[in-house]
Chains A and B, each alone.
Chain A
Amino acid sequence: MKTMNRQRLCSAFLASILWLTTPADAADTVPGLPAYGPDKPLPLPEVSRERLPNGLELWLIRRAGLPLLSVRLAIRGGTAADDPGRQGISELLADTLASGTERHDARQIAEILQAAGAELAASAGDDGITLAVTGLTEGAREMLATLAEVALTPTFPEPEVKLAVTNKLQELLAEENDPDFMTSRVFYRTLFGDHPYHYSHPDKAAVAAVDAESLRRLHRQRFHPERALLVMVGDLPEQQMRKLASAYFGSWRSGKTTLSEIPDAPLQPASHRLQLVARKGSVQSTIRAGRPLPPADHPDYPALTVANTIFGGSFGSRLTRNIREEKGYTYSPRSSISRLAHGGLFSVQASVRNEVTAAALVEIFYELDRLATTLPTSEELQRAQRYRKGIFLLRNETAASLAGTLSAYWLKGLDIEDLRQQVSRIEAVTAEQVRQVAARYLTSRQQAVVVTGDAEAVRPQLEPLLPVEEARP
C-alpha cells in the first residue's frame, strides 16, 4: 500500500472537483427568492495510508480544529461470519471486549477512557467488528493504549461474561414486543433466507450458549492484524498518530486462521408473500418493504442512490410528499440503500395508523412503480444529485463521522478511491439510468413486504393486495 506524505493534506481543496453553479430551482416560481451562490470546490479526504509490518492497515487524516481525536479499529468478520446456530456471538464479543484485560478490570478501563474524555463503543455488524473511541487529543496515548489493550489482550472474565449473557437475554425480552424489533427480524429473514445476512438480532438459545471460553476462542480466530484497519482522524500530526499506532499495535502478532468464505447473498427475497406479524393492541402498523441488492462494489449503486433519494430517501422525496404531506398517513416514512460486502438491501419503512395500512402500502407501490416506468424531472434529478453531494460533506464533517465512513467503507471491501469518487459518480447519473435501475430493482412486485400490527384490524385490508402469511419474530 502506498504511503502518502503529509504535504498532500494541505492541498485538499485543490485536488477537488468544482460544482456546477445552479440557480435555486424554486426561484422562478417564488418572487424574490435569491439563487444559490457559486459552489465552492468540494474537498475530498486525503488519507495517509500504510501498513505496519504485522499487516495492520493504517489510515490517518489530520483534522485541525477542535482538540479531538477519533480512533476506530475495524476487524473483518462480523455476525455473518458467526457459526450457524451461534449467530450473534460476535455481538457478545463486542460487548465484553472491554470487560477485563490482563492489566485492568472493566471499571478501570472505563475510568482510564473517561479521563481522556472518551468512552469505548464496540459493535458487531454483518461484515465486521468495530471499536471506536473519540476523546481529547491530549489523551491520545491513553486512548490508543486502552484500545490496543482491549482489542489484543481481553481476558473475558467469567462473571462479566455471565452478566453480559444474562443482560442480553433480558434485553431480547425487553425488545420482544417492540414493533421495530419484530419487523426487522422477519424482514431480514424474508430478504435473505438462509444467507447469514438474514441476521438482525440473536436467538435466545445462541445467547444462552455463550460462555467465556467460546468468546476467547472467537477472539483468537477473528482478531489478527492482517484482517484489521486502524483509522485515526483528529488534530494531531500524522507522524504522531503513526508513532502511537506502532507503539501500541506494532507488537500485535499476525495469525494464520482463516474465516469461512461468505457467498454473495441471493438477489431475490425468500418470499413474496406479505408477512403479517401479529401484535396485539397495536395502534399502528409498522410497514417494511424491500429486497436484497448486489455487493457494495456493484456499478449500479450511484444510480440506485439517486433513485432512492428521489423515491423516499429525503424529506422532499416523492414518498414523503405523498403519504405524509398530502395524505397524513405517517410521521416519518423513509427509504434507504445499504451496501454490504457480499450483498446489500433496499428498504422502505413507514409506521401508519391501522385504518390506512393497505392504503399506505398501495402508495408505496405506486411511487416505486412510477419511478420504474417514467423519467424523473430534471429538477428532481438535479436536486437529488446536489443533495447527495451536500450529504457527502455533512456526513464527513467531524473527525468521528469521517473515521466512521472510512472504516465502514473498508469493511464493505471498498477503497478510499470509491469514497473520493462517490460524488462524481453521482453527478454522472442520468434520468434514464434512474428509471433503468428502478425497473431493475425497485418495482413493487420485486419487493418483500412485512407488516407488524393488529392482525384483526389490518388483515382484511391487506388480503386483496397480496397473499398474506402470518410470521412470528
Chain B
Amino acid sequence: MPPFLPHALLTLLLLLPLTSAPLWAESGSLPITRYKLKNGLTLVVSEDHQSPTFGLSVVYGVGFRLEPRGRTGFAHLFEHMMFEGTPTAPKGTFDRVVEGGGGVLNGSTRYDYTNYISTAPVSALEPVLWLEADRMRHLDFSRKNLDNQRKVVKEEIRVNVKNRPYGLFFWTDLAALAFDKWENAHDGYGSFEDLDRATIEEVKQFHDTYYVPNNAVIAVVGDVDPEQVYRWVERYFGDIPPGKVPPRPDVSEPLNTKERFRRETDRHARVPALAVGWKMPPPDDPDYFALAVLANLLLDGDASLFHQKLVKEEQTLLEVSGGLNWPLGDALTNGGPSLLVAFGLYKPGKPARYSVERMQQVIDDLARNGPDATRLAAVKTKMKADFYKRIARFIKRADYLAVTQLLWGDAAMTNRYPERIDAVTPTDIRRVAARYLTRENRSWIDRQVTGKEKMQ
C-alpha cells in the first residue's frame, strides 16, 4: 500500500470484506507479475482472490511438430510418462497429492507445446509446485511404465479414433492433406508401429532435450501472493540446470495454389461428413486476428453465416462446426501454420461438393462486399465474452497465460486479445477472405459411409 494514502481511505480499505473486489475490476485486465529465474525458467503469476483456489499450468515448448521422425505420437506418449513417477516421488504420488489436496490434474499435447495443468484449493499449491519441479528434474525412466503407457495410449487412440465414427479425421487426415512439411502434416496421435518402436532411451533423451527450465513457462493464477509463489518456484526449480534446446526448424509453409481433395470411407459412420481446411498464416502475421474473427463470423453458433446458409437455408448440413486452429485450440494457442476448419455431417440428396461450394459462395460474397458492420460488431462482442467465459476458470486462465508467454513471448497477449479482436474492420475481413479462403488454398475431405451400411 503506498505510504501517502490518507488515513480515512486506509481505514476504508481495511474494512472491506475478505471477498474484496478482484483486481480485474480496477483495470479491466488481468494483473500479471512476471519473474525469470537464472536457469531461464519464466514464472507468470496473476492474483485473483475470488475463490480460495489456484490454477497452475506448466508448459513446455515441444509438441507434435518437434517429435522425432519415425516416432509419430512420441510427444504425446512422453506426456503420459510425465505422470509415471520419478526416482523420488514414485508413480501415483502426483495424483495422490493433487487429489488429496482437493484438486484435479491433466496434461495435453498440442502442435507447439505440451501442458501440465492442475487446480485445487491453495493449500495444495506448494506441494504441487514441488512435484512439478521434481518431474522437470528427472523421471523414473522405467521400461515397465513405458510399456504400460504404450498400451494406455493405444486404448486412447482406439476410443477416440479407431472405434468411433469420423475418428477425428477433420484433424489428422485434413492436416495430412493440406500440409506438405512432415512437422505439420503427420498424425500427432501416431501410428501403432511408431509407438511400438519408442524406447526408454528416447524418453530420457526427449526429457533431457526439451524438458528443461529454459524451455518452460509456469503460470499460477488465483488466491496467491506473487512474491510467495516466486519464493517457492525459486526454491524448488532454481537449481535445475538449463539445457541446450535445439533451434526450432522452419515449419512455415506457403499457401496452397491448387485445391486438394480426398475421398475417404468410414466403416463406423452411418451418415457422411465433410471437412474443409484453409491454410492460415503464422500467428505473427498482421492478417492473423482478422482471420480469427472471420472464422467466428463463419462458424460460431446459430447466428454464424455457415449455419444460416447450410443448416437453415440450404438444409444440406445437419450441423457445422469449426474454427481457426480447431479442434485442438484457438487463435491464441497456436505457434505455427494452422488451418481454418469447417466440419459438418451432410444429408442425403446433395453431394458434399454442393455444400462446399455454398460455403465458398458465402466467402466470396464477404470478399466482394465485406460483412455487415452490425454483424461484425456482434461477432466481436461474442468472441470477447467467450474469452471471459473461458478465463473464468483459474486453470484455463493459467494455461492461457503460460501458453501466450511461451508462444508469443508475452503473457500480456492474453490481456491484449480483446483489443486485437476489436481492431478488426470490415475491410480487414474482406481482404483476408479474398486472400486466404480461396478455392486454391482449400483442402477438403468427403468422408463417405461404406457401401453396405449406406442409407439414403
Q: Does B327 contact A (CB under 8 A)?
A: no
Interface contact A179-B164, CB-CB below 8 Å: yes
- A330 to B301 alpha-carbon distance, docked (Å): 34
- A379 to B93 alpha-carbon distance, docked (Å): 13
Q: Which of A110, A327, A397 contacts B393 (CB 8 A)?
A: A397
Q: Does B168 contact A (CB under 8 A)?
A: no
Of all chain B residues, the one with the shortest Cβ separation from A383 is B100
- A143 to B210 alpha-carbon distance, docked (Å): 47
| Interface-side segment among A32-40, A79-87, A220-228 | A32-40
Of all chain B residues, the one with the shortest Cβ separation from A171 is B318
Interface contact A37-B122, CB-CB below 8 Å: yes
Chain A contacts for B267, CB-based, 8 A: 281
Chain A contacts for B345, CB-based, 8 A: 170, 174
Chain B contacts for A281, CB-based, 8 A: 267-268
Q: Which of B89, B122, B162, B375 contacts A111 (CB 8 A)?
A: B375
Interface contact B270-A177, CB-CB below 8 Å: yes
With A66-B388, A66-B392 known to touch, is A383 a contact of B152 (CB < 8 Å)?
no
1/0 contact trace for A201-212 toward B, CB 8 Å? Answer: 000000000000
Interface size class of B (residues with CB under 8 A): 35 or more
Within B78-104, the residues touching A (CB, 8 Å) are: 88-93, 95-97, 99-104
Q: Which of A43, A113, A174 contacts B303 (CB 8 A)?
A: A113
- A170 to B120 alpha-carbon distance, docked (Å): 42
Interface contact B392-A64, CB-CB below 8 Å: no
Interface contact A106-B158, CB-CB below 8 Å: no
Q: Does A420 contact B (CB under 8 A)?
A: no
With A37-B126, A170-B347, A331-B155 known to touch, is A387 a contact of B100 (CB < 8 Å)?
yes
1/0 contact trace for A298-337 toward B, CB 8 Å? Answer: 0000000000000000111000010011111111100000
Interface contact A390-B120, CB-CB below 8 Å: yes
1/0 contact trace for B369-393 toward A, CB 8 Å? Answer: 0000011011101101110110111
Chain B contacts for A391, CB-based, 8 A: 102, 104
- A135 to B93 alpha-carbon distance, docked (Å): 40
Chain A contacts for B100, CB-based, 8 A: 22, 24-26, 36, 316, 379, 382-383, 386-387
Q: Which of B88, B163, B379 contacts A30 (CB 8 A)?
A: B88
With A68-B388, A393-B121 known to touch, is A282 a contact of B163 (CB < 8 Å)?
yes
B152 to chain A, nearest CB (A): 5
Of all chain B residues, the one with the shortest Cβ separation from A167 is B318
B227 to chain A, nearest CB (A): 15
Q: Does A473 contact B (CB under 8 A)?
A: no
Interface contact A106-B312, CB-CB below 8 Å: yes
Interface contact B303-A353, CB-CB below 8 Å: no
Q: Does A4 contact B (CB under 8 A)?
A: no
- A116 to B270 alpha-carbon distance, docked (Å): 38
Interface contact B223-A390, CB-CB below 8 Å: no
Chain B contacts for A19, CB-based, 8 A: 121, 123
- A170 to B103 alpha-carbon distance, docked (Å): 40
| Interface-side segment among A8-16, A236-244, A268-276 | A8-16
Q: How many residues of A contact B (CB 8 A)?
A: 96
A398 to chain B, nearest CB (A): 4
Chain A contacts for B347, CB-based, 8 A: 166, 170
Interface contact A328-B151, CB-CB below 8 Å: yes
Q: Does B148 contact A (CB under 8 A)?
A: yes
1/0 contact trace for A24-63 toward B, CB 8 Å? Answer: 1111011111111111111100000000000000000001
With A177-B268, A177-B270, A397-B392 known to touch, is A115 a contact of B156 (CB < 8 Å)?
no
With A30-B89, A179-B163, A315-B95 known to touch, is A117 a contact of B384 (CB < 8 Å)?
yes
Q: Which of A12, A39, A163, A324 contacts B315 (CB 8 A)?
A: A163
With A36-B101, A174-B269, A284-B163 known to touch, is A328 a contact of B301 (CB < 8 Å)?
no
- A433 to B70 alpha-carbon distance, docked (Å): 53
- A120 to B102 alpha-carbon distance, docked (Å): 32
Interface contact A316-B95, CB-CB below 8 Å: yes
Of all chain A residues, the one with the shortest Cβ separation from B103 is A390
- Could you pull out 13 A-B pairs where Cβ atoms are within 8 angstroms? A26-B97, A29-B90, A65-B22, A107-B302, A114-B381, A117-B381, A139-B385, A331-B159, A351-B155, A353-B158, A387-B99, A394-B103, A398-B389
- Which residues of A are in contact with B by a Cβ distance under 8 Å? 9-14, 19, 21-22, 24-27, 29-43, 63-68, 98, 106-107, 110-111, 113-120, 134-136, 139, 163, 166-167, 170-171, 173-174, 176-179, 281-284, 314-316, 321, 324-332, 351-353, 379, 382-383, 386-387, 389-391, 393-394, 397-400
- Which residues of B are in contact with A by a Cβ distance under 8 Å? 17-19, 21-22, 24-25, 48, 50-53, 88-93, 95-97, 99-105, 119-127, 130-131, 147-156, 158-159, 162-165, 223, 267-271, 301-303, 308, 311-312, 315, 318-319, 345, 347, 374-375, 377-379, 381-382, 384-386, 388-389, 391-394, 453, 455
Question: 4 other contacts beyond A64-B50, A390-B120, with CB at 8 A cut-off?
Answer: A36-B127, A64-B22, A65-B22, A390-B102
Closest 4 CB pairs of A and B: A390-B102, A117-B385, A328-B151, A110-B303
